[in-house]
Structure 1
Amino acid sequence: MYSREEVKQLKETFWTRFGQYMALHTSADGEKINWVNYRTGIKNLRFKMEADKRVALIAIEWTHQDISMRRLMWEQFEEYRNMLTGILGEEWIWDLEVVDELGKLVSMIYTTMEGKSIFKQEDWPDLISFFKPRLMALDEFWCDAQYGFEIFKS
């Protein structure tokens, strides 16, 4: 069992190392990018990565409080579904209403990997191998699709 401080430190170390590793790669449009804190340019829309003691998750998450706005964005993502799936090379889970870690309703398109722990350094290569290609695929998708989401900029 880890103390709260040890948990914080292990997670911080993993994400720092992942960020350093990913810094060697440019975005799909050739730009230098902060992969860990990927900016979509759309308020309430982000690429999310999480890992804990059992599951790793990568997602497109939008958090607008107004369900009608989340549905509009959902419909826009539906327009790009074939492109997204083609670039990812796999089907992800589409969920219009998920309760996030803060108890708020959000919408997500995501996939998970089970059985690997951020608290086991021997699992870190597997976690990186899970996150890296999917995050790079999300970036490739976003380089093309972002223009279809400009109506959500505020």
Structure 2
Amino acid sequence: MSQSLIQNLRRETELAQAFATVLGEERSLIKAGDYQALAGLLERKVELAGLLGALTRAREAQMGALGIRTGAGGQLFGRQIDPSVEAAWRTLVFAARTASDANALNAAVVDAHLEFTEEAILALRQRGDNTTLYGRDGRAQTGPQGVSLATG
């Protein structure tokens, strides 16, 4: 059973690494302003997330059957944990943290773009004239309308 768990951990690690790679591509596209290409990446992210979810459930069931549980900081607990399982687990935890860090960085990039856009819109609205802006529906709107994203 532990060999099956090791294979699952390795596959989950590969998927986490692939997810981190997609997040890196996403960050590059956001920085470049290539929002059309982001749609294709979204499909890949959803697919990878689904596969990761299925493997996670399978791994958790396998670990439970072996009497292995995880604690704070991703530490493994249980009687007689195979050293190969522990090594594969550490590799998975590292890959998951890498993907998590990439996701946090993407969120910071998106937040920076959003803040810049909000400031630009505010500056246009504060000019005092009835500058025409486009609303969410793509139609021209005159003057301040809508809900500010910055106010939550």
Quick check: which one's helix share is greater?
2
Quick check: which one's strand share is greater?
1
Fold equivalence (TM over 0.5)? no
Short-chain TM bin: under 0.3
Structure with bigger gyration radius = 2
